[in-house]
Amino acid sequence: MSKPSFRDIVDSIAEACGWTVKEAEGSLSVDVPTGGGRSQVVVITEDVDIAEQAIVRYWSVIGSAENIDYRRCLEENARLAYGGFALRDGQLVLMDTQLVQDADPMEVGASIGNLAAYADRYERDLFGVDTY
């Protein structure tokens, strides 16, 4: 029996959790309901690490990187259980990575779900919106 592909893992988790998955421009976008009528999109892109091992990069936009208290973001990084604050294309994001060869459905689901929940919380707390 062959190991499921990373995409198969994401699709099965999304189906079980009621998440919506879309594919565009070489990435997956997972729309995760976060409660109270809010949701958060987690984007998944493929990459390689320094040892040329296949990884996936999970990221979720929080808002514009302009006028952000970067010190607060770094302090929050020390408390986050999943991912960390990063800048991507002028946006403040939460980002996490994972080796593809070791992808475990429970860990993939936890990474996506927790990254969405944290990003949504910071989007609400820092910007007072539900845009991403």
Q: How far apart are CA 81 and CA 3, in angstroms?
A: 28
Q: How large is the greatest C-alpha to C-alpha distance in the chain, in angstroms? A: 52
Which helix (H) or strand (E) segment holds residue 48: the answer is strand 38-48
Q: What is the pLDDT of residues 37-95, one digit of tens each?
A: 999 999 999 999 999 999 999 999 999 999 888 898 999 999 988 899 999 999 999 99
Residue 1 pLDDT grade (very low, low, confident, very high; cuts 50, 70, 90): low
pLDDT digits (tens, 9 = 90+) for 17-31: 999 999 998 899 999
Start-to-end CA distance of the chain, whole Å, equals: 38
**pTM for the predicted model, two decimal places:** 0.90
